[in-house]
């Protein structure tokens, strides 16, 4: 995976986060409870932060150990999918049992940042 692909991934996730936030604020606010809106906004916030995290990984790509850098990208991307995705679904009325997926995504976020630290500490061989 090249830095360019990570830039594309981070940029697309950031654009989707902005769109999801706007959709929530303007298209769903009248239909959602306060709790559902809070869940939706949490999903947007974490998606956006980790989209920026992916862009950070891309910016540092040439300084990172490739295997650990790729692990960081995969963990952050899967974290967005599982954490934010499950929260979006919950806000839209999915069964509450789906909420059990969010902590897995949150753990992947932590793994993503930790592997970024390792990738930077080890650096290019």
pLDDT for res 124: 79
Owning domain of residue 117: 3-122
Tens-digit pLDDT string for the chain (125 aa)? 789 999 999 999 999 999 999 998 888 877 889 999 999 999 999 999 999 999 999 999 999 999 999 999 999 999 999 999 999 999 999 999 988 999 999 999 999 999 999 999 998 76
Distance CA 112, CA 92 (A): 27
Residue 118: CB atoms within 10 A of its CB come to 15
**Global pTM value:** 0.93
Cα radius of gyration (the chain): 16
Count of the separate structural domains present in the chain: 1
Please list, residue by residue across 69-81, b when 16 or more beta carbons sit within 10 angstroms of its beta carbon and e when fewer do: bbbbbebbbbbbe
For residue 118, give Cα distances in angstroms to 16, 28, 65, 69.
29, 40, 8, 8
């Amino acid at each position: 995976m090249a830095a360019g692909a990570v830039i594309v991934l981070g940029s697309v996730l950031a654009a989707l986060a902005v769109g999801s936030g706007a959709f929530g604020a303007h298209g769903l606010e009248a239909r959602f409870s306060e709790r559902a809106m809070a869940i939706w906004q949490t999903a947007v916030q974490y998606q956006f932060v980790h989209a920026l995290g992916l862009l950070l990984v891309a910016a540092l790509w040439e300084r990172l150990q490739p295997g650990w850098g790729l692990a960081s990208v995969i963990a952050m991307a899967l974290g967005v999918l599982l954490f934010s995705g499950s929260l979006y679904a919950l806000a839209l009325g999915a069964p509450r049992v789906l909420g059990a997926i969010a902590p897995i995504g949150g753990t992947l976020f932590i793994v993503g940042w930790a592997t970024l630290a390792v990738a930077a500490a080890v650096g290019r061989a």
